[in-house]
Amino acid sequence: MELEELEGWAASFAAFCARFDDLFSRSESRTQAHKYLRGLLAGLERKTTWQLAEVVKDSTPDRMQRLLYQVSCVGIHKQYCGALGKIENCQVAPLLTYATAREHVFLCGGGDRGRDRLG
C-alpha cells in the first residue's frame, strides 16, 4: 500500500468511527472502541483481547476487556470457556449484517440494542 493510499484509508477509517461516536458518553470508551476496530482489521490469525491490545500498543488488555464487558449486544455472558477451562465471561457473537450501495446495517443477536449508548 502506498503512503497516499494509507493516508486516504486513515481518513476514511476516522470518518467511519465518527459515525458511532455518539454511542459513547465517555471519550476514553470512544477512543478504545476506535482501537478495538483497528485491532480487528489487523492481520492476526487469532484476535484475543491480549493480541488486540498488543497490536494497538496498549500495555495490557484491561481497557479492551472493559470495553467489551460494557457492550451487551456482543454476547458476553458467563459460560464455560474451553480456553480458560472454567466458567467466565466469554464472547459469542451471532451477527447479521445487511449491506446495499446506500447503507450498511449491523444487527446484534440480542435485538435492536446496537444503537444503545455505551461507556
Asked if residue 27 is part of any domain, the answer here is yes
Asked if residue 91 is part of any domain, the answer here is yes
Asked if residue 34 is part of any domain, the answer here is yes
Asked if residue 115 is part of any domain, the answer here is no
pLDDT tens per residue, range 5-58: 667 788 888 999 999 898 888 899 899 999 998 888 888 888 888 899 999 999
Structural domain including 56 reads 3-108
Give the number of domains in the chain.
1
DSSP structure string for 7-42? HHHHHHHHHHHHTTGGGBSSHHHHHHHHHHHHHHHS
Asked if residue 103 is part of any domain, the answer here is yes
The C-alpha cell of 35 is what? 482501537
Asked if residue 35 is part of any domain, the answer here is yes
Asked if residue 114 is part of any domain, the answer here is no
pLDDT tens per residue, range 91-109: 665 556 667 777 766 665 5
Q: Report pTM.
A: 0.59
Asked if residue 117 is part of any domain, the answer here is no
